[in-house]
Amino acid sequence: MLNVLFIVFSIIWITNAANLLVFWPLPIPSHFYSFKPLFTELALQGHNVTVVSHFPESTPMANYTDITIMDETTKYNESTTNRINDNLMDVINCNFFQVLSIGWTLNKRYAESILHLKNLQNFITSESYTFDLVLIESFYQEYTVTMGHKFNAPVICITSTLIQPTNSHWIGLPSTFSYLLDIRSRSCDHKTFYDRLKSTYLGFVQIYLERYFYIPTQEEYINKYFNYKNHESRPPIDVMLSNVSLILVNGDLSVGAPRPYLPNVIEIGGLHIKVPKQLPKSIRTFIESAKNGVIFISFGTYIHPCEFPKHTLDAFIAVIGKLKQKILWRWACNTTKADLFIDNVMLKEWFPQFDILNHPNVKLFITHGGLHSVEESTYNAVPMIGVPFFSDQFTNIKLVERKGFGKLIEVNDITENTLQTIIDELLFNPIYKENAIAYSEIYKDGYLKPIDKAIYWIEYILRNNGAPNLKSYSIQLNSIQYFLIDILVLFLICIVLVIYLVYKMLSTLKTNIIKYTYISREN
């Protein structure tokens, strides 16, 4: 009997397994590895997952197939890498008038460096694959949406940052500039007049001008690089984008801010957070021997301390040398470490960040404010000092600061005195730790784990043939209809007409009264 039940359930399980495509041309490791747990979990649940990316599995895994974009003969040449790194410096130094055009340039450089590669083109033109669902990332690669057309499959869009006007308007999601977050404005939800001015400018450009200055470039890439069979029947890119079935957002209320969502937008922030592992012995011993606790310093993948302005790095070294706390510092520089050989400092090119933040003796995290770092620090209730540089980092740290478990200091404002003052405040004012604990509890108080939520909604889209029932009719409305401008114009016409009629009536009445008065006097 048990054997029969096993066979029946096995047949049901196999029947429900789907062929899923993860199409991820962007070569940014932090974006891909944030969602890698989702792709592997889908495979573990029995789905056949094919991943087109730059990041193949080191160990083969059942139901998980890698198609690697780069190979031995098609690696980035030095000039391509330098172009991308140069653009990164542009992003760091840009103002809000420049940020959108720099993003568009970033898209161009990545697209022109990647889309022509042989492995990718072989996959795009191949007729050997069929898929039931396509997962793409929307970060400056909207052209990926065409894979849904190629395979006649629903598309789920993954966004690595908080959702922005540039992709929210595809599906008719409200983009109220007065309080909704836009990471490009470098503000949080409590906005000053200047913040609202920036958000309005950036939002207007994304919603109304991108279609003329940015989206046509995406259409050009599609027409040039995505020439699969029957591509001639492909609809315009804006139609394909509005047909996206679901958006999975790397966000959570505890690290973001409340905002309205439609049913086909789901937050899954913290997807990469797992059960902490035991620390390597050398790191664990270092942390546990710190009588006054440990400060962990890491500025992410792209920002290296040796690239700081000299006065900033000198300030860090001077302050660290005077602290009673021990310091773990991610130092991925090729320059000498001689000036940092201090008894209370451990330097490494890489640390197991989440596992370190989970240790109770870690008292403070000095970070660039990347979303994953903020998520991990919030989850583990570690107060933060944020030194943001670009992208969403300013918004992330301003939200932390508003919630009361961190402080922001800009890199050019760092001196020995300012750094020492802000470190002392975070270490010795208990309110920061108390607030960190409160938001950690909020983060952990979900009715579903992020990965379970993501799996449920992906399978919901599969079960319901793209789930058109989740889509708002607002995507069919133009701006005049959406904002009721035509109704307002009608009201205005009616008001003007009423005013005009009242004016005519009063004028006629006045004329008649004058005429009557004149006749009466004559008589």
Q: How far apart are CA 416 and CA 402, in angstroms?
A: 25
User: Residue 156: how many CB atoms within 10 A of its CB?
Assistant: 25
Q: Which of 394, 423, 445 is the last residue of a domain?
A: 445
Number of domains in the chain: 3
Within-domain flag for 89: no
Percent above pLDDT 90 for the chain? 55
Residues 70 and 218 in one domain: yes
Mean pLDDT lowest among 164-178, 224-238, 365-379: 164-178
Distance CA 285, CA 328 (A): 12
The residue among 191, 224, 185, 6 whose CA lies nearest residue 100 is 185
C-alpha 418/C-alpha 421 separation (Å) is: 5
Is 93 a residue whose pLDDT tops 70? Answer: no
> What tokens does 146 get?
């065409």
Burial code (b: 16+ CB inside 10 Å, e: under 16) for 58-94 equals: eeeeebbbbbebbeeeeebeeeeeebbeebbeebbeb
Give the residue-averaged pLDDT of 328-339.
Answer: 72
Helix or strand or coil: residue 276? coil
pLDDT higher than threshold 80 for residue 95: no
**In a 3-state reduction of DSSP, which class is residue 224?**
helix
Could you read off the pLDDT of 214-268 as tens digits, one per residue? Answer: 999 999 999 999 999 999 999 999 999 999 999 999 988 888 888 899 999 999 9
Chain centroid to Cα 390, Å, comes to: 13
Domain that holds residue 197: 19-78+94-269+449-476
| Separation CA 270–CA 252 (nearest Å) | 8
In DSSP notation, 333-380 reads -SS--GGG--TTEEEES---HHHHHTSTTEEEEEE---HHHHHHHHHT
- The domain boundary, picked from 445, 468, 488, lies at 445
Let me know if residue 4 belongs to a domain. no
The answer to whether residue 323 is domain-embedded is: yes
Residues 207 and 299 in one domain: no
Asked if the model's pLDDT at residue 22 lies above 50, the reply is: yes
pLDDT digits (tens, 9 = 90+) for 291-321: 999 999 999 887 888 878 888 888 998 999 8
Domain match, 412 and 491 both: no
The pTM score is 0.86
What tokens does 47 get?
């789905």
In SS3 terms, 480-496 reads as HHHCCHHHHHHHHHHHH
| Residue 441 shares a structural domain with residue 321 | yes
Same domain (yes/no): 419, 460:
no
472 and 487 part of one domain: no
Question: Can you give the CATH number for the domain in which 110 is found?
Answer: 3.40.50.2000
- The C-alpha atoms of residue 331 and residue 307 are separated, in whole angstroms, by 11
466 and 508 both lie in a single domain: no
pLDDT tens for 428-478 read 999 999 999 999 999 998 878 899 999 999 999 999 999 999 999 888 888
